Amino acid sequence: MTVEQAVAKLLELQKKLTAYNHASGLLYYDGVTTAPKETSDVRGETLTILGEASYILSTGEETSSLLDFLTEHESELDEKTRRIVYLMNKELRELRSIPMNEYIEYQRLINDAQAVWHKAKDENNYDMFEPYLAKIVETHLRFAAYIDPSKHPYDVWLDKYEPGLNMAKCEEFFSVLREKLVPLIKKIGEKPQLSDSVIHGDFPVEAQRKLSDRLMEIMCIDRGHCGIGETEHPFTINFTKHDVRITTKYHEDDFSDSMFSVIHEGGHALYELNTGDEYAFTCIGTGVSMGIHESQSRFFENLIGRSQAFCELLFPELQELFGLEGYTATDFYRAVNRAQPSLIRIAADELTYSMHIMVRYEIEKMLMNGEVTTKELPATWNRLYKEYLGVDVPSDKEGVLQDSHWSGGSIGYFPSYALGSAYGAQFIAKMREELDVDECIRKGDLAPVNAWLTEKIWRHGSMYEPAQLLEMVLGVPFDPTYFTDYLTKKFSALYEL
């Protein structure tokens, strides 16, 4: 076999894996959008069989030999191929460390757990979901020991979503947030609260759907390759860079809920849609990590979407859709930036959001340390919400059952949200050196913003490790005080501190 033949074989294999990913992703998407209620079992069977085929493609003897051959000839490979080989080798090592039957069993567990979580949340019945979560936690502990027994299990999973992240870095990061934000939140709590009555009322879903379309248009999202669906919990899924779906959930009493979901998921979608064409159908053709991904989604949601300029741009259109008589754009800006400790993460304001993440980080750490059992989780959740946010949790539906992540097997994902928010604040500071961002927003033309992000971040896909990418974009190390400074300035002005 020549190196050229081996590279062709590698790309062929990557294309096959992309296809399996597409099919499995669509099965998942169908399950949470369109599928009849009682079809989860059979979908699980199909996902198991496709997962098995994909597992064999990723870890089989043929792939292993191919990767060994290419690794031996590393010096003859171009940068892109080297990166694919690196990523595949990493995945192969991880997957091979997990016995295939356990891996397949886990896929089935996740499929079932998601269906049960939906039901349990609907019925506010944590006990229904608990046995599934217990198995998911147990599997994460077992798999972490397979993947890297020298590491703390939680470090294994943090690294999965944000390569290079570990508990030590989290503690450092969260301590900055704690030091700067907790006093700020406290001070704001002593001030008169901002009114958010403008976003509350009766807003027909049909009008909200129109708003979603308009938001995607303002964000320059290519609708030919990006659809929008409706689910219990908003998310983004990329079958390939050419077919991305976002979802939202409409609440008739508050249009801003779905509005910011659409902007948030739209940010994820933009990243995927704009990865380089030369990386399509390979493992490089997707966002590099959850932290970087959340930096993009939360960039659009908060730094753009919750800015004064964006609120001014959008307000006349909101009035056309929803009435909102007697209110001004400034009322709207203040409403969507009302900072108040609350129960639901995805509805949380920009300032207190990180507290929600810190609760989940503490819980995941305890679960991975064996310091808390899944049976004790509601009590622990409620205690931490009281401690971090000062709120009483009235039901598990609004508490421990609110997020889909754990039911989907994502333990270690949550810190990426806070990290992403902080990355974003440093990105926009850098962007402002080259671009009048507010002027773009006022003109309703985000194309220059997208062009900057494409050039610096999106087009690279997974070509570089997150830390390397950050350095390429910023030129200086990551510094969370950009984020805390931004929040301090914005919220001091809003609350006249």
Amino acid found at 169: K
265 catalytic? Reply is yes
Radius of gyration (C-alpha) of the chain in whole angstroms:
23
Is 56 near a copy of itself (CB under 8 A)?
Answer: no
Min dist CB 165 to a copy of itself, Å, is 32
Nearer to a copy of itself among residue 34 and residue 150 (C-beta): 34
Binding flag, residue 240, a copy of itself (CB under 8 A) = yes
Q: Is 122 near a copy of itself (CB under 8 A)?
A: no
Q: What is the 3-state secondary structure (H, E, C) of 112-124?
A: HHHHHHHHHHHCC
**Length in residues, the chain:** 497
| Closest distance to a copy of itself from the beta carbon of 94 (Å) | 24
Q: In the complex with a copy of itself, which residue's Cβ is closer, 33 or 373?
A: 33
Q: Does the footprint of a copy of itself cover residue 15 (CB under 8 A)?
A: yes
Q: Which of 411, 272, 297 is nearest to 353 (CA)?
A: 297
Total residues interacting with a copy of itself, rule: CB under 8 A: 39
> According to CB under 8 A, which one of 158, 185, 226, 463 is a site residue for a copy of itself?
226
Would you count residue 132 as binding a copy of itself (CB under 8 A)?
A: no
Is residue 45 involved in binding a copy of itself (CB under 8 A)? yes
The residue range among 27-35, 155-163, 407-415, 468-476 that interacts with a copy of itself, by the rule CB under 8 A, is 27-35
Report the candidate in 160, 135, 155, 98 with the shortest Cα–Cα distance to residue 369: 155
Among 33, 175, 193, 330, binds a copy of itself (CB under 8 A): 33
DSSP state of 401: T
H/E segment holding residue 245: strand 243-248
Residues 271-330 binding a copy of itself (CB under 8 A) are: 281
Residue 217 in contact with a copy of itself, rule: CB under 8 A:
no
Nearest approach in angstroms of CB 21 to a copy of itself is 9
Backbone angles phi, psi at 219, to 5 degrees: -80, 0
The dihedral sign for the CA sequence 374, 378, 382, 383: negative
Minimum Å distance from CB 491 to a copy of itself? 38
**Tokens of residue 313, six digits:** 């741009």
Asked if residue 85 lies in contact with residue 78, where contact means CB atoms within 8 angstroms, the answer is no
444 by DSSP, 3-state: which?
Answer: coil
> Applying CB under 8 A, does 189 fall inside the site for a copy of itself?
no
Element (H, E) at 160: helix 153-161
* Distance in angstroms (rounded) separating the CA atoms of residues 159 and 115: 27
Q: Which of 60, 164, 189, 227 binds a copy of itself (CB under 8 A)?
A: 227
Handedness of CA 274, 461, 17, 68 (dihedral sign): positive
Binding region for a copy of itself (CB under 8 A) out of 26-34, 83-91, 285-293, 335-343: 26-34
* 130, 162, 265, 362: the active-site residue: 265
Regarding 344 and contact with a copy of itself (CB under 8 A), the answer is no
Amino acid at 44: G
Binding a copy of itself by CB under 8 A: which of 1, 5, 8, 42? 42
Q: Does residue 53 bind a copy of itself (CB under 8 A)? A: yes
| Residue 369 makes contact with a copy of itself by CB under 8 A | no
Q: Is 205 in the site for a copy of itself (CB under 8 A)?
A: no
Other CB atoms within 10 Å distance of the CB of residue 77: 18
Distance CA 240, CA 59 (A): 21
Q: How far is the CB of 225 from a copy of itself (least distance, A)?
A: 5
CB within 8 A of 327, min separation 6: which ones?
A: 198, 319
- Which residues would be at the binding site for a copy of itself (CB under 8 A)? 15-16, 18-20, 22-24, 26-27, 30, 33-39, 41-43, 45-46, 48-50, 53, 222-227, 229, 239-240, 242-243, 281
Active site amino acids: 265
